[in-house]
């Protein structure tokens, strides 16, 4: 008898089982192949716009992905540095051998956590409450809560051209019956598709014909707690090349041979991650498409061709690759493939990631229709936290849209559902100015501490940082500079206007061209780097941040109006019929959530709001 | 589930028939209860039936009943219309019967509101229905109809579409920072795009304001020395068009005292009492008040006596007038003239002889010309329709100005995008659209990105 069983050892599963075990729950992780725990079957990279911030948020809440990435990084890059602090994003090239190895180490040494190698093919449900799982050999294991993090393994099929095999990534066995069981329990099953590009041999690339893409030469880490970072000298570069007209001609000539255009695919593929044949068809007037050559590991020879995901047969794949500059003599190690899998409709979930149909059953990751390691890990962490809080009899943790990208992600999923695999983008976050790379700890560590995933030492560190930020702000407001020759020369040098009268450093920093790092040439600002960075952003973007906060407050005023679970929408007069149908389907928990359902208009929300108020007085 | 409402749809007591409209889930069954004739619950949709409205055994009226089933109706609910014989008494009696059946009397505009709520019309169309009903003149009617057909919605949607393209370009730069083949949003091209947007929006607002003026009426004052013929001009305008002279409260400061409806325009005559009683408006009101009046007015008719040389008072008056909105009237043309049209090169000038009503047509033509009514281009009828819509557009314009400023100061893309999205939202409020998913759709439709 366990408290929690986690089904699947991918990025969602790892975070889920670690969170549960660390929150004191006796936890079992069931996974098809222990060697594949925390496997990265696609990109060898973690982070990027929006996703990188999710990794920081996982760290702030006490999850593992950030720390594990720091142990495995081959290259670190800070993206979007010139586009505003809210969209700065860290991205690591992560070693595909080191990452899983380090994660397995962490899992194996985790108290309260056991790992079992098997496939789950059935669920034990009584009175719409989960009781445990049934393994492929018929063994029943009981648990109070179950978290499904099955990734792409539900009825997985691998497609290459007209060839279709029932298997998961790396030829692993898929789960054949679990999705049927979910269907029986009332879940809507979606068929989704994704794909991955070919891998080629490192030494077979003609690098002279490509452009080098290096990392950021700074000491960067994902985790707020990692003490050492990858040395610049150890960073491994990526390379850039392009498709050309010849490539496109080969693709067009053989279009019908691909799984997708040959009609062999049932699943819906991701819009943001089209296959090369999709790109060539949809954007036929584009002369070339970018391809990044990314190293997968220092322990083996594979180079991942980012941008060339395809479901063409092997011989056509070779023709395509060999038509590309620098890859004329490339040797294939693995061929590209498309993969189809079953997922559930996330609209059938609560914002806690518990299913509405079966009590104490949670789901996270690709089974909920998302894609991406980071999106999976974020959900896994929240599912683990909420399963544990549920068993502890405590209030759940629901992150709001103005608090975390993870909050945006889960709210989007459960409120809107997905049609194609969901990827987080900064454009999905309406308050992204508040959800920055720099302040994830300030936003979320408190929650991590409350649920018990952040220890005292790390919590004290946060408190100290908050204190220092306040002090630094005071310091900058009190410290004045006079229009001395030294100051004015400096200002002139950085292209700013000279001072006529004395000014506080705070006022001076309001000028967009004045940065703390520059200012330190002429005045001392004795605070830690992360503190100064935080304060600088708050000063320079004060107006925008205020505006975002005001908008968020507007949203919160709707968010604070709770809708009771058994509300009868038939009783609410004057709502458009489409809105009524959507409200009945999704059954939002708050007026705020209701307002984000597509098809529910402001006028419907006004009517609903009045109904809720009236009912309260009755 | 919506309750059933009813109201008399035609003006009570006038006309040969009057129509009672009923809308809602029980519309057909409830009317069937008091109808003698075919079983209305069995008939086809969109058919008309002859019969009687009965209260117990007493026949109230002989009627035609139209049955229109949802969703192809004005409200997208079941709708029944009863054509009664005109006359207050029988119509009222039928209405009372319906109320006794448990149908609720509709509040003003409720049918339109339901059409909006049920998604048959959008916000701009709902607003234009009210305007169509209240149209004062041909221009107002034409504009309302154009908006009802969706021209306002299209106007706003087209503009938002351009804005969305720019935002999507910024967003794709942010979310896919390493795609070098995508146009990079730089200070130069962003400034260019934003400037285009600004000009575009300016034009929309200006045209809307111009047209709205035509719709609501033009505040007009007549001004001039005593005994130049102001009151006779006013009377000629009023009598000719059989306008009703009443006290209509305008804005808090203004009192509209008469409406003159020309074919395309409505003139709201301000402070006519002064003219009519003493014929001495300048002297009576004092310089300050006459200045205020002239400033507020959208049209000033300044009357001069064509027979006499300009006096000090006339010169002072001419100095204070804004030639853009003034028509100088050289009156009393039936006697030898001293003043010539050429003496006033910056003004619109019309010669009249009010005694014989000569020159009135020229005056009207001149007014039409001044408000661009001499040639009507129906393509320009796409306008923002009311004060609410214009206010939102003005708000958007203000932010757009700030954006242009921010761009030149080197504010980062992220912030620029936030401001542009605020504009998109603001304009979306005109039509009731929201932006959230639109950007993503635009982004994925237009850019080739991904692994």
Query: What was the pLDDT predicted at B372?
Result: 67
- Tell me the mean pLDDT in the region B423-428: 88
Confidence tier at B446 by pLDDT (50, 70, 90): low
**Helix then strand then coil, % of chain B, to nearest 5:** 50, 20, 30
- Tell me the mean pLDDT in the region A102-131: 97
Q: Is the pLDDT of residue B130 over 90?
A: no
CA dist., res. B116 & res. B124, Å (int)? 10
Which is more confidently placed, A174 or B135? A174
Measured in degrees and rounded to the nearest 5, phi and psi for residue B316 equal -60, -40
Which is more confidently placed, B124 or A409? A409
Query: How far off is chain B from A419, nearest CA to CA, in Å?
Result: 13
Chain A environment of B440 (Cβ under 8 Å): 425, 427-428
In sequence order, what are the residues at sequence separation of 6 or more whose Cβ sits closer than 8 angstroms to the Cβ of residue A415? A347, A586, A588, A593, A596, A597
Confidence tier at A441 by pLDDT (50, 70, 90): very high
Tell me, yes or no, if A207 comes closer than 8 A to chain B by beta carbon.
Answer: no
Confidence tier at B437 by pLDDT (50, 70, 90): low
CA dist., res. A482 & res. B451, Å (int)? 53
- Tell me the mean pLDDT in the region A27-39: 96
Average the pLDDT over each of A29-43, A450-464, B329-343 and give the range with the smallest value.
B329-343
- Top-level CATH class of A456-541? mainly alpha
Block residue for tokens 């990692």: A226
Pick from B451, B267, B449: nearest CA to B368: B267
Confidence tier at B1 by pLDDT (50, 70, 90): very low
Please name the residue of chain A whose CA is at the shortest distance from the CA of residue B410.
A512
CA dist., res. A33 & res. A116, Å (int)? 9
Which tens digits make up the pLDDT trace of B334-385? 888 888 888 888 888 888 887 667 788 888 888 888 876 655 555 567 778 7
Contact A229, A221 (CB under 8 A): yes
Query: What was the pLDDT predicted at B278?
Result: 45
Q: Which two tokens stand for residue A129?
A: 């409450």
Beta strand pairing call for A113-117 and A120-126: unpaired
Average the pLDDT over each of A263-277, A428-442, A585-599 and give the range with the smallest value.
A263-277
Chain B environment of A85 (Cβ under 8 Å): 412, 414
CA dist., res. A114 & res. A439, Å (int)? 34
Q: Fill in the DSSP letter of residue B76.
A: S
CA dist., res. B418 & res. A426, Å (int)? 11
Contacts 24+ apart (CB under 8 A), A172-179: A172/A32, A172/A33, A172/A36, A173/A32, A173/A119, A174/A341, A175/A32, A175/A119, A175/A120, A175/A121, A175/A150, A176/A121, A177/A121, A177/A122, A178/A120, A178/A121, A178/A122, A178/A123, A178/A148, A178/A150, A178/A154, A179/A154, A179/A155, A179/A342
Measured in degrees and rounded to the nearest 5, phi and psi for residue A234 equal -90, -5
Tell me if B181 and A213 make a contact (CB, 8 A cut-off): no
Least CB–CB distance from B177: residue in A80, A290, A309: A80
Beta strand pairing call for A113-117 and A189-196: unpaired
What topology does CATH give the domain A561-617?
A: DNA polymerase; domain 1 (1.10.150)
Tell me, yes or no, if B175 comes closer than 8 A to chain A by beta carbon.
Answer: yes
Confidence tier at B440 by pLDDT (50, 70, 90): low
Query: What was the pLDDT predicted at B12?
Result: 62
Least CB–CB distance from A512: residue in B171, B176, B409: B409
Q: What is the 3-state secondary structure (H, E, C) of A519-537?
A: HCCCCCCCCCHHHHHHHHH
Q: Is the pLDDT of residue B188 over 60?
A: yes
Which is more confidently placed, B360 or B158? B158
Query: How far off is chain B from A139, nearest CA to CA, in Å?
Result: 41
Q: Is the pLDDT of residue B445 over 70?
A: no
Average of per-residue pLDDT values in chain B:
79
Tell me, yes or no, if A288 comes closer than 8 A to chain B by beta carbon.
Answer: yes
Query: What was the pLDDT predicted at A436?
Result: 95
Q: Is the pLDDT of residue B8 over 70?
A: yes
CA dist., res. A118 & res. B323, Å (int)? 90
Query: What was the pLDDT predicted at B56?
Result: 85
Tell me if A601 and B432 make a contact (CB, 8 A cut-off): yes
Query: What was the pLDDT predicted at B92?
Result: 85
SS3 label, residue B132: helix
CA dist., res. B62 & res. B74, Å (int)? 25
Q: Which two tokens stand for residue B38?
A: 């075919």
Which is more confidently placed, A479 or B269? A479
Q: How far apart are the first and last CA of chain A?
A: 46
Average of per-residue pLDDT values in chain A:
93
Tell me, yes or no, if A51 comes closer than 8 A to chain B by beta carbon.
Answer: no
- Tell me the mean pLDDT in the region A247-269: 90
CATH of A199-338, one of 2.40.30.260, 3.40.50.300, 2.40.50.140, 3.40.30.10: 2.40.30.260
Q: Is the pLDDT of residue B254 over 50?
A: no
Confidence tier at B239 by pLDDT (50, 70, 90): low
Confidence tier at A290 by pLDDT (50, 70, 90): very high
Tell me if A541 and B415 make a contact (CB, 8 A cut-off): yes
Q: Which two tokens stand for residue A322?
A: 């060999």
Which tens digits make up the pLDDT trace of B293-329? 778 888 888 888 888 888 887 887 788 888 888 999 8
Highest mean pLDDT among A227-241, A323-337, A553-567 belongs to: A323-337
Provide, rounded to the nearest whole percent, the portion of chain B with pLDDT above 70. 79
Report the helix count and the strand count for chain A, using DSSP H and E: 20, 22
Query: How far off is chain B from A396, nearest CA to CA, in Å?
Result: 27
Which tens digits make up the pLDDT trace of A198-213? 999 999 999 999 999 9
Tell me, yes or no, if A166 comes closer than 8 A to chain B by beta carbon.
Answer: no
Which is more confidently placed, A596 or A12? A12
Which is more confidently placed, B95 or A187? A187
Which tens digits make up the pLDDT trace of A218-239? 889 999 998 777 887 889 999 9
Ordered domains of chain B (ranges, CATH): 5-117 (3.30.1360.120), 151-210+384-446 (1.20.120.430), 215-370 (3.40.50.300)
Tell me if B415 and A544 make a contact (CB, 8 A cut-off): yes
Give the residue ranges of DSSP H helices in B11-150: 27-33, 88-100, 110-117, 123-134, 138-148
Q: Is the pLDDT of residue B219 over 70?
A: yes
Pick from A347, A379, A372, A366: nearest CA to A424: A372
Provide, rounded to the nearest whole percent, the portion of chain A with pLDDT above 90. 76
- Tell me the mean pLDDT in the region B10-25: 80
Window A:64-83, CB contacts with B under 8 Å: 79-80, 82-83
Window A:499-538, CB contacts with B under 8 Å: 512-513
Q: Is the pLDDT of residue B450 over 60?
A: no
CA dist., res. B191 & res. B404, Å (int)? 6
Q: Is the pLDDT of residue A102 over 90?
A: yes
Please name the residue of chain B whose CA is at the shortest distance from the CA of residue A90.
B177
Confidence tier at B14 by pLDDT (50, 70, 90): low
Tell me if A80 and B174 make a contact (CB, 8 A cut-off): yes
Tell me if B177 and A49 make a contact (CB, 8 A cut-off): yes
Domain boundaries, chain A: 2-195+340-451, 199-338, 456-541, 561-617
Concatenated DSSP letters for A405-416? Answer: HHHHHHHHHHHH
CA dist., res. B223 & res. B292, Å (int)? 12
Query: How far off is chain A from B372, nearest CA to CA, in Å?
Result: 38
Query: What was the pLDDT predicted at A269?
Result: 80
Tell me, yes or no, if A91 comes closer than 8 A to chain B by beta carbon.
Answer: no
Query: What was the pLDDT predicted at B247?
Result: 37
Query: What was the pLDDT predicted at A201?
Result: 96
Chain B environment of A306 (Cβ under 8 Å): 451
Please name the residue of chain A whose CA is at the shortest distance from the CA of residue B419.
A544
Query: What was the pLDDT predicted at B447?
Result: 55
Query: How far off is chain A from B152, nearest CA to CA, in Å?
Result: 20
Query: What was the pLDDT predicted at A125?
Result: 97
In sequence order, what are the residues at sequence separation of 6 or more whose Cβ sits closer than 8 angstroms to the Cβ of residue B97? B34, B53, B55, B60
Confidence tier at A424 by pLDDT (50, 70, 90): very high
CATH superfamily of A2-195+340-451: FAD/NAD(P)-binding domain (3.50.50.60)
Confidence tier at B290 by pLDDT (50, 70, 90): low
Please name the residue of chain B whose CA is at the shortest distance from the CA of residue A436.
B414
Contact B201, B396 (CB under 8 A): yes
């Amino acid at each position: 008898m366990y408290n929690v069983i986690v089904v699947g050892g991918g990025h969602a599963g790892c975070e889920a089982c670690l969170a549960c075990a660390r929150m004191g729950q006796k936890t079992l992780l069931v996974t098809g192949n222990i060697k594949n725990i925390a496997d990265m079957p696609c990109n060898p990279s973690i982070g990027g716009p929006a996703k990188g911030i999710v990794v920081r948020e996982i760290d702030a809440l006490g999850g593992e992905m950030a720390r594990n990435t720091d142990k495995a990084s081959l290259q670190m890059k800070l993206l979007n540095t010139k586009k505003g602090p809210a969209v700065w994003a860290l991205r690591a090239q992560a070693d595909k051998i080191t990452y899983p190895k380090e994660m397995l180490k962490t899992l194996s040494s985790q108290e309260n956590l056991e790992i079992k190698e098997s496939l789950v093919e059935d669920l034990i449900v009584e009175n719409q409450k989960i009781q445990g799982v049934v393994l492929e050999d018929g063994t029943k294991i009981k648990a109070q809560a179950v978290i499904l993090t099955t990734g792409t393994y539900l009825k997985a099929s691998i497609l290459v051209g007209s060839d279709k095999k029932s298997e998961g990534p790396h030829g692993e066995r898929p789960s054949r019956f679990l999705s049927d069981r979910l269907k029986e329990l009332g879940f809507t099953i979606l068929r989704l598709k994704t794909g991955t590009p070919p891998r080629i041999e490192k030494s077979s690339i003609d690098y002279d014909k490509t452009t080098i893409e290096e990392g950021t030469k700074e000491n960067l880490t994902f985790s707020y707690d990692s003490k050492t970072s990858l040395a610049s000298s150890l960073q491994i570069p990526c390379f850039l090349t392009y498709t050309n007209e010849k490539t496109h001609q080969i693709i067009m000539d053989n279009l019908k041979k691909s799984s997708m255009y040959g009609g062999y695919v049932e699943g819906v593929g991701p819009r943001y991650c089209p296959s090369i044949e999709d790109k060539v068809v949809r954007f036929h007037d584009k002369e070339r498409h970018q391809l990044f050559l990314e190293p997968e590991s220092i322990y083996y020879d594979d180079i991942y061709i980012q941008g060339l995901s395809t479901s063409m047969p092997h011989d056509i794949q070779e023709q395509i690759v060999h038509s590309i500059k620098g890859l004329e003599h490339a040797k294939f190690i693995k061929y590209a493939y498309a993969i189809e899998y079953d997922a559930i409709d996330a609209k059938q979930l609560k914002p806690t990631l518990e299913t509405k149909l079966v009590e104490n059953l949670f789901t996270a990751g690709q089974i909920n229709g998302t894609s991406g390691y980071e999106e999976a890990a974020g959900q896994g962490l929240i599912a683990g936290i909420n399963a544990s809080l549920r068993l502890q009899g405590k209030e759940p943790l629901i992150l709001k849209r103005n608090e975390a990208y993870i909050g945006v992600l889960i709210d989007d999923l459960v409120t809107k559902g997905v049609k194609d695999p969901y990827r987080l983008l900064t454009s999905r976050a309406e308050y992204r100015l508040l959800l920055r790379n720099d302040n994830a700890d300030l936003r979320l560590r408190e929650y991590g501490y409350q649920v018990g995933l952040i220890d005292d030492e790390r919590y004290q560190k946060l408190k100290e940082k908050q204190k220092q930020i306040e002090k630094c702000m005071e310091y900058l407001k009190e410290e004045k500079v006079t229009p001395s020759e030294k100051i004015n020369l400096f200002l002139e040098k950085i292209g700013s206007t000279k001072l006529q009268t004395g000014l506080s450093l705070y006022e001076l920093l309001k000028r967009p061209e004045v940065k703390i790092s520059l200012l330190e040439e002429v005045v001392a600002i004795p605070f830690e780097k992360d503190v100064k960075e935080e304060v600088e952003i708050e000063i320079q973007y004060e107006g925008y941040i205020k505006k975002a906060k005001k908008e968020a407050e507007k949203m919160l005023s709707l968010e604070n109006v709770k809708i009771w679970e058994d509300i009868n929408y038939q009783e609410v007069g004057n709502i458009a019929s489409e809105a009524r149908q959507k409200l009945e389907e999704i059954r939002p928990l708050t007026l705020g959530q209701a307002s984000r359902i597509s098809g529910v208009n402001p006028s419907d929300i006004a009517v609903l709001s009045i109904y809720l108020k009236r009912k309260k007085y009755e | 589930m919506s309750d059933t409402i009813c109201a008399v749809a035609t003006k009570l007591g006038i006309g040969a028939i009057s129509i009672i409209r009923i809308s809602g889930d029980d519309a057909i069954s409830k009317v069937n209860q008091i109808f003698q004739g075919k079983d209305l619950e069995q008939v086809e949709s969109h058919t008309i039936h002859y019969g009687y409205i009965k209260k117990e055994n007493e026949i109230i009226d002989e009627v035609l009943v139209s049955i229109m089933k949802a969703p192809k109706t004005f409200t997208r609910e079941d709708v029944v219309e009863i054509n009664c014989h005109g006359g207050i008494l029988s119509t009222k009696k039928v209405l009372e019967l319906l109320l006794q059946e448990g149908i609720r009397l509709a509040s003003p505009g409720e049918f339109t509101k339901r059409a909006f709520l049920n998604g048959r019309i959008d916000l701009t169309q709902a607003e234009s229905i009210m305007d169509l009903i209240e149209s004062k003149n041909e221009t107002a009617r034409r504009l309302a109809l154009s908006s009802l057909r969706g021209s306002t919605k299209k106007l706003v949607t087209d503009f938002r579409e351009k804005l969305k393209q720019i935002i999507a370009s910024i967003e794709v730069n942010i979310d896919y920072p390493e795609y070098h083949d995508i146009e990079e949003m730089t200070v130069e091209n962003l400034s260019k795009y934003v400037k285009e947007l600004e000009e575009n929006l300016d034009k929309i607002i200006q045209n809307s304001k111009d047209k709205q003026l035509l719709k609501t009426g033009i505040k007009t004052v007549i001004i001039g020395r005593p005994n130049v013929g102001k009151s006779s001009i006013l009377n000629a305008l009023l009598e000719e068009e059989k306008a009703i002279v009443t006290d209509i409260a305008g804005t808090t400061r203004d009192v509209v005292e008469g409406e003159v409806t020309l074919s395309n325009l409505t003139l709201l005559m301000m402070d006519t009492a002064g003219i009519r009683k003493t014929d001495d408006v300048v002297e009576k009101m004092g310089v300050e008040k006459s200045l205020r009046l002239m400033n507020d007015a959208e049209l000033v008719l300044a009357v001069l006596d064509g027979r006499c040389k300009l006096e000090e008072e006339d010169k002072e008056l001419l100095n204070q007038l804004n030639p853009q909105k003034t028509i100088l009237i050289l009156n009393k043309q039936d006697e030898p003239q001293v003043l010539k049209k050429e003496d006033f090169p910056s003004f619109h000038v019309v010669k009249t002889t009010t005694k014989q009503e000569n020159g009135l047509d020229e005056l009207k033509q001149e007014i039409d010309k001044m408000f661009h009514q001499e040639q009507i281009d129906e393509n320009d009828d796409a306008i923002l329709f009311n004060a609410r819509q214009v206010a939102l557009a003005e708000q958007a314009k203000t932010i757009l100005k700030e954006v242009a400023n921010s761009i030149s100061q080197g504010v980062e893309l992220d912030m620029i995008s936030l401001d542009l999205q605020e504009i998109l939202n603001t304009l979306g409020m005109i039509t009731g659209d929201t932006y959230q998913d639109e950007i993503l759709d635009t982004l994925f439709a237009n850019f080739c990105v991904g692994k």
